[in-house]
Structure 1
Amino acid sequence: MKSEPQCFSFADLKRAPGQITCWDGVRNYQARNLLRDEVRIGDGVLFYHSSIPVPAIVGLARVMRAGYPDPSARDPRSEHFDPRAGDENPIWWAVDIQYDTEIVRPLTREMLRGHPVLEKMDVLRKGNRLSVQPVTAEQWEAVLQLSQVRDQSTYQTSRGRV
């Protein structure tokens, strides 16, 4: 999941009540479909800081609540308000994620490109600006190894992650 740190950073997630936040405001249909149809409770999340001098994966989080209608789409005070969204037609979806682990040495694009398993990650494709992107199980494992996260056994490995 990508976020501009000036909008919402990994440190913001760590400071959130219970270290949990609603991942809302996604306004791309492909990313929306991932949130609605693919993301499940317990899935691991690679938290990626974008739009900074050195974009990088900076931490790990976990999905605590699977896809549900994005409340910001129905809130006229929200910058993500969409007057087309309603109870019968939610249009946009959100998930809840929880802070897990900070990556001590952020994994930069250069580092990802230099790894044979990670060089084809969606986040590295030119022009790909999606805030939610799939990660294969093999890529997930490679990121865990590269990030030197100590307890890798707590993460499911049967399918890719986001």
Structure 2
Amino acid sequence: MTTRYWLMKSEPDECSIDDALAAPQATVPWTGVRNYQARNFMRDAMQVGDGVLFYHSSCPQPGIAGIAQVASGTRPDPTQFDAKSPYFDAASKPDAPRWLLLDVQALRKTRLIGLPELRAAPELADMILLKRGNRLSITPVSAEHWHFITRQLLDG
């Protein structure tokens, strides 16, 4: 089994790296994914133990805020069936759920690595996060990009 790497975006007012670290076993269900490509990454490609760059988005200072790992396989996201949830999907049915979640376990908080710092590194020039028009909440990260970020930017 090959370890893969991912960048997963979360709005910190919904679930920050601090929230994830404070959760039981530092593990949170990754709810609210409502993009088919991101859902398919979870369903078809993500495996328990894969590395995750925990990214804070839609906030004053977006950026990588922690390191995590995939902690479970997928299961139906219950928020799709909850009419009070902002992630409610009336077209999704319990016997044929449209949306999935998996659990993410936070491993550690890092210093914030913002977009300007990521863009300034030539080694990351082709990182999906930095491409124009990319708005996916989950994107694959190459092993080279993962190692550069975790070894050079965080530990270097």
Aligned to 1:67: 74
| Counterpart selection for 1:122 from 128, 132, 143 | 128
Of 135-144 and 72-81, more deviation after overlay is shown by 72-81
Specify which structure has the bigger relative contact order, considering alpha-carbon pairs within 8 angstroms and separated by 6 or more residues.
2
Give unmatched runs, 5+ long, in structure 1. Answer: 150-162
Within the alignment, does 1:85 sit opposite 2:64 as a pair? no
| Counterpart selection for 2:154 from 138, 147, 154 | 147
Matches of 2:94 and 2:13, distance apart in 1: 31
Aligned to 2:101: 94
Aligned to 1:134: 140
Q: Deviations over 1:76-115 (max 9, x none)?
A: 3322121222233211111100110111x22111111122
Aligned to 1:108: 114
Structure 2 length normalisation: TM-score? Answer: 0.87
Within the alignment, does 1:30 sit opposite 2:37 as a pair? yes
Q: Deviations over 1:24-63 (max 9, x none)?
A: 1100111111111111100111011112233210100111
Query: Quick one: which amino acid aligns to residue 121 of structure 2?
Result: H
The aligned length equals 148
Structure 1 length normalisation: TM-score? Answer: 0.84
| Counterpart selection for 1:18 from 14, 22, 25 | 25
| Counterpart selection for 2:55 from 48, 52, 60 | 48
- DSSP 3-state at the match of 1:113: helix
Matches of 2:102 and 2:76, distance apart in 1: 9
Give unmatched runs, 5+ long, in structure 2. Answer: 1-7
Matches of 1:79 and 1:55, distance apart in 2: 22
Identity %, equivalent residues: 45
- DSSP 3-state at the match of 1:11: helix
Matches of 2:13 and 2:47, distance apart in 1: 27
- DSSP 3-state at the match of 1:65: coil
Contact 1:106 1:147 in 2 (8 A): no
